[in-house]
Chain A
Amino acid sequence: MSSLSRSRLGRGILLHLFLTPLALIWLFPLWMMVVFSTMPDNGIFSPGIELLPHDGFLDNFNNLQRDTNFVGAIGISVCVAVTYTVLSVLLTSMAGWALARYEFHGKGIVVAIILGTITLPYAVVLIPQFIMVARDFQLANTWIALIVPPLFNSLGVLFMRQAFSMMPAELFDAARVEGVKEWRIFLFVALPLARSMLAALAIILFLASWNNYLWPLLINSQPGAMTAPVALGTLIGLTKVSWGGIMAGAVMLTLPMLVVFVLLQRHFIAGIAAGAVK
């Protein structure tokens, strides 16, 4: 064995020796979430070290359901996230299409303002949004309040603009010569071609809505109108509450997303990495 390949082998081993403990540390909180969700409360609060799951998930789930209507909250979260994703993908890709494929007056300003909002903290719009939705529109504790204000997003539009501007112009010009209307070109030529980008966008938007906390906490604070993260959040810090139940709720919020992540990893990563590719 040459000295070069021996040093390569050494480096390879070193790499795994370093990366494996780090990966285990990174997985540890998720693993403990699962373990806690299967342990009775007196097990969580016992002096022993427990690192393996038990069989108490259903009991914990029942405790959670006793503490708050978590199933109802999950229902709201699912409906809101699905509606939000569909609307947002449509809105975002329409805007991205316009910015990518047409020349129009004010284009530079529109792009500059969208770019500018990336560096602006959400806190700046939070209070007027709240006053407007809760007081002026009287829409607190409705689905509309959860779905509509977060529809604006800047990175998604830039992502779709990028996707559409990479497509060859001849594709669309051919359709135009035949007199196909612009919105039909968008719907039936451009969108199908952008399938994988749309999938990436949809996943990221769904996840954002599913995990959104601050806005739903403020605007939908009535028990029957809470999303699942908000309902779970109300339990954290209470004294007479089942921690096994809270962990069961955390698992129910997290596990479906982890499954989606594993199945659609490519789209997931493309959606997140989109920010860097400009």
Chain B
Amino acid sequence: MRTRNATAYRFLTPYLLIFAIFWIWPIISSFMISFQATRTVPWRFAPAFNWGRLIGDPAFYNALENTLLILVIQVPVMIALAIMMAVLLNSPMLKARGLYRFAFFAPVVVGEVAYSAVFRLMFSLDFGIVNKLLASVGLAKIDWFSNVTPAMAVIMIAVTWRWAGYNAIILLAGLQSIPDDVYEAATLDRVSKLKQFFHITLPLLKPVIVFCAVLSIIGTMQLFTEPFLITERGGPGGGTETLGLLLYRQGFRSLNFGYASAIAYTMAGLAIAITLVQLWLTREPK
């Protein structure tokens, strides 16, 4: 390829312009805003104002704890489920493949608001279909939204329902790029299917699994709509408040941009740290 600076940048300019205005500048800007007291006019530079508050704010620790709890439980469960879906959908023995694919992949097109509304209705105390079904088999009704643990469970169930198929699509593409002859050789050597899964499929799929895990962690880290709509602004009593919701409350309800920016940078720091740890844990052995 010849070096063609002018031509290349003519094609890149519109994209880079949007990138610079709406991403690069904001990344710098929110870092600076996090060191400013933003509830005075004009804003003033006060390095410890927001970060100091963050360190001592019980609401922040509550949101952090909830977010990490969801992260630690929901992401692994969903990734495991997605791997299972992908492997089973890839099985040559499966009949009516299209129907199963539709069932698992359909949630991918459902918007956050639409599915939040459905889950909220399905899990309501007296008239929710879930409690009605529990009662019909003789189990006790669960007051899903008045207690923290079941409310958290509903959020995790909802997010898992929405995103497992999405990850399964990515994993399935990864599975299909594994050449068949690897498995044929293993089958000839009478290696059991289960052993093939653990010794061939999982190792070869690892980069894709890491990719899914990283995307899921970043997504869950910013969880906002589900606690906003399903558990009614992070209820009961802040029991499902996430960092995303805290940022929304601080930034756009209290209009405290400085503090919200500090929260945003904490989320970014966590996301980057977790991503790095994950890449390190799954690095190729030298």
Residues of A within 8 A of B (CB): 8, 11-12, 15-16, 18-19, 22-24, 26-27, 29-30, 32-33, 36, 44-49, 91-92, 94-95, 97-99, 101-105, 107, 110, 113-114, 117-132, 148-149, 151-152, 157, 182-183, 186, 207, 210-211, 213-214, 218, 229-230, 232-233, 236-237, 243, 246-247, 249-251, 253-254, 257-258, 260-262, 265, 268-269, 272-273, 275-277
Cβ–Cβ contact A232 & B113, under 8 A: yes
Cβ–Cβ contact B111 & A261, under 8 A: no
Cβ–Cβ contact B268 & A258, under 8 A: no
Q: Point out the residues of chain A lying under 8 angstroms from B27, CB to CB.
A: 120, 124-125
Q: A32-B121, A126-B30, A127-B26 are in contact. List 11 more A-B contacts (CB 8 A).
A: A26-B106, A47-B132, A94-B15, A102-B3, A126-B264, A128-B26, A211-B109, A230-B113, A247-B118, A250-B118, A275-B170
Q: Point out the residues of chain B lying under 8 angstroms from A126, CB to CB.
A: 26, 30, 247, 251, 264
Main secondary structure of the interface of B (DSSP, over half): helix
Q: Point out the residues of chain B lying under 8 angstroms from A33, CB to CB.
A: 114-115, 118
Whether B165 is near chain A, meaning CB under 8 Å from some CB there, is: yes
Asked, given contacts A27-B103, A229-B113, whether A243 binds B121 with beta carbons under 8 Å apart, the answer is yes
**Residue among A19, A128, A262 with the highest chain B CB neighbour number at 10 A:** A128
By beta carbon, the residue of chain A nearest B260 is A127
How long is the Cα–Cα vector from A270 to B205 in the complex, in angstroms? 18
How long is the Cα–Cα vector from A243 to B121 in the complex, in angstroms? 8
Asked, given contacts A237-B232, A272-B169, whether A101 binds B16 with beta carbons under 8 Å apart, the answer is no
Which of B8, B23, B173 is the one whose CB lies under 8 Å from A277? B173
Cβ–Cβ contact A128 & B112, under 8 A: no
Minimal beta-carbon separation of B274 from chain A (angstroms): 9
Q: Point out the residues of chain B lying under 8 angstroms from A130, CB to CB.
A: 251-252
Q: Point out the residues of chain A lying under 8 angstroms from B2, CB to CB.
A: 103
Cβ–Cβ contact A45 & B127, under 8 A: yes
Q: Point out the residues of chain A lying under 8 angstroms from B225, CB to CB.
A: 213-214
Whether B41 is near chain A, meaning CB under 8 Å from some CB there, is: no
Q: What is the total of A-B residue contacts with beta carbons within 8 Å?
A: 281
Nearest first, the 7 closest Cβ-Cβ pairs linking A and B are A273-B173, A128-B26, A211-B111, A23-B103, A125-B26, A250-B114, A104-B8
Minimal beta-carbon separation of A263 from chain B (angstroms): 12
How long is the Cα–Cα vector from A22 to B86 in the complex, in angstroms? 13
How long is the Cα–Cα vector from A39 to B251 in the complex, in angstroms? 39
Whether B185 is near chain A, meaning CB under 8 Å from some CB there, is: no
How long is the Cα–Cα vector from A118 to B165 in the complex, in angstroms? 20
Q: Point out the residues of chain B lying under 8 angstroms from A94, CB to CB.
A: 11-12, 14-15
In the assembled complex, 27 residue pairs joining A and B whose CB atoms fall closer than 8 Å, in A order, are A15-B91, A23-B99, A26-B106, A26-B161, A32-B121, A102-B4, A103-B1, A120-B271, A124-B265, A128-B26, A131-B29, A148-B18, A149-B22, A151-B22, A152-B23, A213-B113, A229-B112, A230-B113, A233-B113, A236-B116, A250-B115, A253-B114, A268-B105, A272-B108, A272-B166, A273-B169, A273-B173
Residues of B within 8 A of A (CB): 1-5, 7-12, 14-16, 18-19, 21-27, 29-30, 33, 85, 88, 91, 93-95, 99-122, 126-127, 129, 132-133, 136, 161, 165-166, 169-174, 177, 193, 208, 211-212, 214-215, 218, 221-222, 224-225, 229, 232-233, 243-244, 247-248, 251-252, 257, 260-261, 263-265, 267-268, 271-272, 275
Which of B12, B33, B115, B268 is the one whose CB lies under 8 Å from A127? B33
How long is the Cα–Cα vector from A230 to B161 in the complex, in angstroms? 22
Q: Point out the residues of chain B lying under 8 angstroms from A260, CB to CB.
A: 109
Asked, given contacts A237-B229, A269-B169, whether A218 binds B117 with beta carbons under 8 Å apart, the answer is no
Cβ–Cβ contact B257 & A127, under 8 A: yes
Main secondary structure of the interface of A (DSSP, over half): helix
Minimal beta-carbon separation of A191 from chain B (angstroms): 12
Q: Point out the residues of chain A lying under 8 angstroms from B272, CB to CB.
A: 119-120
Q: Point out the residues of chain A lying under 8 angstroms from B103, CB to CB.
A: 23-24, 26-27
Cβ–Cβ contact A29 & B118, under 8 A: yes
Cβ–Cβ contact B264 & A277, under 8 A: no
Q: Point out the residues of chain B lying under 8 angstroms from A18, CB to CB.
A: 88
Cβ–Cβ contact B112 & A254, under 8 A: no
Minimal beta-carbon separation of B252 from chain A (angstroms): 6
